[in-house]
Structure 1
Amino acid sequence: MSDLAELCGYRIELLVQGFPGKSLENGGLGWSSVVLLRGQGRVILVDTGSFSVRRTLLARLAERGLSRHDVTDVLLTHAHYDHMMNWTLFPNASVAIGAAELDHALSEPIETSLGAELYVSALAASPQLRRLTPGEEALPGLTAIEAPGHTPHHLVFVLDDGSARVILAADAVKNRAELLAVSGVSTQDSAASATTIARIGALWRERPGAILVCGHDLPLVNDGADGTYLGARRAGILCWFGAEPGDTRQIALVAASECPPEQGPTA
């Protein structure tokens, strides 16, 4: 994946890339961003993805010489399945989530919740749990701010040294379209989401070069306009439409503008 910045004593990397898409026929897609921070004697993950990303997550850590036992801290932005399920991989980490967010997730009706109820219940009972309050320093250099809308008590984590800024927004701002339209989709409270997106957008725009890490998109750098993507989108599906296991088709899930000239979006 890609290095984003060195800030507040941390090297910040996008470990798993989020994707701005929604499944139409087969339930949730849920490809969300996972961010790695290393420094100040810590190995930190901001969100951990869903079960489907588990092998990728462990492989990306291994590429950096890290195992799951090396992770010291997990910061969860909210309790949805595609952002929190893999907290169980990290037995030596403290696992921090907003106290109000966790309580809300525990009380949601199972038929409407996007929380992984057994993982949420296990976290609530775990000695690894650390409950966060908005406004506090979640870890040195990382401030937690409440960002309601997508969930009522979603947290955003901000690093700022006075000259540079990185905003780990997760699903408070899921993608560039939400940022520019100042409107959230798949949200529990549309009005609250709009207010949150406007607030996060203003925080991003007031600092030239600030980086916004969306929950389901590539990171965006403040270029004084609509934002420039950092890195290249990498997403696709390998399909077995033929009669033999070796007869496969790769479908690239990228915009036509992101494909090489010789390759269309379904190559």
Structure 2
Amino acid sequence: MKIVRLLPGAGIRSSIGTMGAAAVTLIQDDINVLVDTGHFGSRDKLMARLSGNGLTTRDIDAVVLTHLNWDHCLNVDLFHDSKIIISPAELEKGSLSGSMDGLTPKFKDLLKGMDLLLVSDNQRISANASIIYTPGHTPGHISVVVGVDRVVIAGDAVPNLRAYRRGMPDLIFFDAATAKSSIERIKSLKPSYIIPGHDSPFNDNGYVERDDIDIILRKENEENLVVIIRNTEADKPLVLGSEPGTPK
């Protein structure tokens, strides 16, 4: 059994809006399980990472959608040969934007035309992976618990380390008290580490891996201005570079 982080998650906010980058995680067990799919902006990266691991979309037996917020699920159409796993409450009440919108019903029609599996709490989905209900951020949010070491792939029930320590997600589209209870439930499992929706993996002692995220801004002369976001000590300076991979 193997867990592969295909795409890291990051939470990036700007003065003109939020740029969601959700974690996408592969569980290679007796079957191949993908947890979340990301959105259109990460589609090429996702396909490349699958290929780099010797896989195509047809090799993915099951896709778990932790919830229906757009940054976690929009690439699900790539997996028309896979079983799509979601909770009944999320299918009924979840939405792409966190509130009712005109696109969500059409997206749910897409899901209903796929090989859909509505899972119950504690349901096993592979030899070493099970679903747990972790609602609050959205009505039917689910997480995945893997192996005897209890690796938790948490989606936005635990979007980042600060939310884990705070005991509350950054954003709540359903119910705060329920969201708090879901984090408490994850903590009670005493996981060896957590793969959050928008941060590097961590455990009770802090980060166990540290992801660098490059934000690339193209200038009028075609030069790239690169801002590298790094999990590091607060007194370390922000790193800037003129081209990707060449920080100054």
- Alignment TM class, shorter chain as reference: 0.7 to 0.9
Indicate the SS of the match to 1:102. helix
Q: Normalising to structure 1: TM-score of the pair?
A: 0.81
Change (3 A) 1:110 1:45: closer
Query: Partner of 1:138: helix, strand, or coil?
Result: strand
Tell me the equivalent position of 1:257.
Answer: 233
Tell me the secondary structure at the aligned position of residue 29 of structure 1: strand
More deviation, 24-33/71-80: 24-33
Q: Distance in 1 between matches of 2:132 and 2:25?
A: 17
Distance 1:115 1:193 in 2: 26
Kindly indicate whether residue 195 of structure 2 is the aligned counterpart of residue 213 of structure 1. Answer: yes
Q: Look up the match of 1:89.
A: 78
Deviation at 1:85, TM superposition (A): 1.1
Query: Paired residue for 2:2?
Result: 11
User: Gaps (5+ residues) in structure 2?
Assistant: 242-248
Find the aligned partners of 2:185 and 2:29 in 1 and give their Cα distance: 28
Equivalent of residue 155 in structure 1, options 142, 154, 174:
142
Distance 1:170 1:192, change over 3 A: same
Taking every aligned residue pair, what percent have the same amino acid on both sides?
28
Q: CA RMSD in A?
A: 2.4
Q: Take 2:79 and 2:91, find their aligned partners in 1: how far apart are those partners?
A: 19
Counterpart of 2:119 (choices 132, 143, 158) is 132
Task: Give the whole-Å Cα distance in 2 for the aligned partners of 1:257 and 1:69.
Answer: 42
CA contact (8 A) 1:79 1:115 kept: no
Is structure 2 residue 167 aligned with structure 1 residue 182?
A: yes
Q: Distance in 1 between matches of 2:98 and 2:157?
A: 23
- Give unpaired runs (5+ residues) of structure 1: 1-9
Query: How far is the alpha carbon of 1:264 from its aligned partner?
Result: 3.5
C-alpha change, 1:113 and 1:24, in structure 2 (3 Å) is: farther
Give the number of aligned pairs: 239
Matches for 1:99-178 after TM superposition, within 5 Å: 99-105=88-94, 112-113=99-100, 117=104, 118-124=106-112, 126-161=113-148, 164-178=149-163
1:240 alignment partner, one of 218, 225, 236:
218
- How much does 1:23 deviate? 1.9
- Greater fraction of residues in strand: 2
Matched, 1:266 2:240: yes
Shift of 1:146: 1.1
Instruction: Flag the 1:115–1:16 CA change in 2: closer, same or farther, 3 A.
Output: farther
